[in-house]
Every structure is written in C-alpha cells, then in structure tokens.
Amino acid sequence: MSLLLLTLSATAQEANTFHAARLKHDQALNTDPKSGLWRDAPAVFFDRAPDGKVVPGHRTEVQVRWTPQALYFLFTCPYEALYLKPSPDAVGETNKLWDYDVAEVFIGADFDQIWRYREFEVSPQNEWVDLDIDSRHLDGDHDLLWNSKFSHAVRIDATKKIWYAAMRIPIASITAKPAAKGSEFRLNFFRMQGPPPDRKAVCWRPSGKETFHVPEAFGRLQLGE
C-alpha cells in the first residue's frame, strides 16, 4: 500500500470515517492480504476494549473494498489462544456464535433510525451468523430466519498466531439504495477472542458499555475511488 493510502487510512480512523476503495468488478473471496483483491485496500486498525482501554496483543486490521453490488471486508486477527465451538457447522447458521471467537461487522444505512442495522459474524472455523438488529429490543431470541446471503472465507496461520476472515456482504442486504461513490453507512467492527475467564472484547469505536449494541458510538464507512 502506498504511503498516501496509509496516511489517508490513519486520518480516516482518527476522524471516525473509513474510506473504502472501489473494485472494478466483483471477485471471489480470498484471505491473502497480498492478493489483488486486498493489496491496495485502505486499512483501519483497532485494539480497544469497549471501555476504550488498549487490549495488548490484539491489534486487528480491517480492509474494505466495494462494488455497486457488495462490500468486501478482510479481518487480520492476531490471537494468543483460540476459543472455538466444538462440532462446528460451517453450512447452517450458528446462533450465539459470539460466545466463541468471532470477527464482527455491524453496519446500517439509516441515519434517522440508527437503532436499525445488520450484524455479520464469522468464526475461525468459518461458522457464521447474520442478524437484522433493532437495538431497542435485544432481549428476545434473534430472528435466524433472516438471510443476507453473505459469503465468507477464513484461514488460520497457527505459526504466526493470526487468523483471517473475509466477508462479501450484498449491498441489498443493508439498503435498497444503489451503492455509489460517496454513499455512507454507519459502521463498527468487533472481535471476541480467547477462552474464559480472560475473554477479550476488542472494537474499532468503543461503545463505553459492556454491550457492543450502542449505535451512537458507531463510526462511518464512506465509499470512495
């Protein structure tokens, strides 16, 4: 990535706005940061707990690309120890996946009803869950019937103690409006990592509360060139 792109990425992070780079056409997912899909994609880094304190050893990178049809995310997740669900199901949706290690995207397009947004999660075992969220009503069971049709891929590098999660999220699962340069979304990134009792919660924009579901704390994603 060029020095200019790195500078822009750092500036965007400080300004609470992440500028995504456009792809010429939709592509198959991969988890290689050096591939053509991700090589020139701007990056944002996060290593804060919800209370704003640094979580040592968990500085996470996320890169974003976009087309008019989809948003592409790549998480690069350093870890100390993985906490994985026994008997994983990478085909069907896994409820309460957040009880184990996951990378998470919270994203919405409604700037008037900020409590409405979508939640996408992927585990190091390629388990997944997607949810249509109304943060005013989180006490009941989540609606697992909603299906965004997002795709995902993962890879664990046990030698380096890094796991990677790539997601391709259809624009139509977030908003009915076409995506174009300048389009904006409300956004936050999260991770849950490691075994109890020392579980780590890491986020891009700290919520200030134990829960991640604080839409007032979200940053912004803006689609650029």
Report the percentage of the chain scoring pLDDT > 70: 91
The residue ranges of every structural domain in the chain are 3-223
60: exposed, middle or buried (C-beta count within 10 Å: 0-12, 13-18, 19+)? Answer: buried
Extract the tokens encoding 165.
């999660």
If you search the block for the tokens 């040592």, which residue do you land on?
Answer: 56
Identify the bridge partners of residue 48 per DSSP, sorted by sequence position: 54, 203
Residues 144, 94 contacting (CB under 8 angstroms): no
pLDDT tens digits along 186-211: 999 999 999 999 999 999 999 999 89
Please state the pTM of the whole predicted model. 0.91
Q: List, for residues 117-133, the tens digit of each pLDDT value.
A: 999 999 999 999 999 99
CATH fold of 3-223? Immunoglobulin-like (2.60.40)
